[in-house]
Amino acid sequence: MRTRERTVAPFDVGHRSTTICHLINICRELGRRLQWDPVKEEFVGDEAANALRRMSADEAANALRRMSGDEAANALRRMSGDEAANALRRMSGDEA
C-alpha cells in the first residue's frame, strides 16, 4: 500500500479471508455453529453472535477517539477492511 503498487491479492479476497478468521473466533467463543450471511455481513438470527461481531468495531472506535491523528491512521492500517469501516462508522455516529 505504501508504494501504491498492485497488491498480491485483490482487496475483496483479503477482506473475505480475514472475515473468515473472525467468524471462526466468534463460533469458538460461543461454542456453537452459526449461519453467516455474506451479503449482509452478519449472523442470521443470532444477536449474541452479532454483538460479538460488532464489539471489536466499538472498541476500536473508542480507542481511535483517544489516539492522535498519526496513531489512529496506523491503527486503521492494521485493521481488516470491515473492522476499519465499522470503527469509522461508529466514530461518526452512523450505525449503518
pLDDT of 14 over the 50 cut: yes
Q: Percentage helix, strand, coil, to 5, in the chain? A: 65, 5, 30
Residue 84 near residue 76 (C-beta atoms within 8 A): yes
Q: What is the pLDDT of residues 57-79, one digit of tens each?
A: 666 666 666 666 776 666 666 66
Q: Is 57 exposed, middle or buried (0-12, 13-18, 19+ CB in 10 A)?
A: buried
Q: CA 73 to CA 49: how far, in whole Å?
A: 28
pTM above threshold 0.85: no
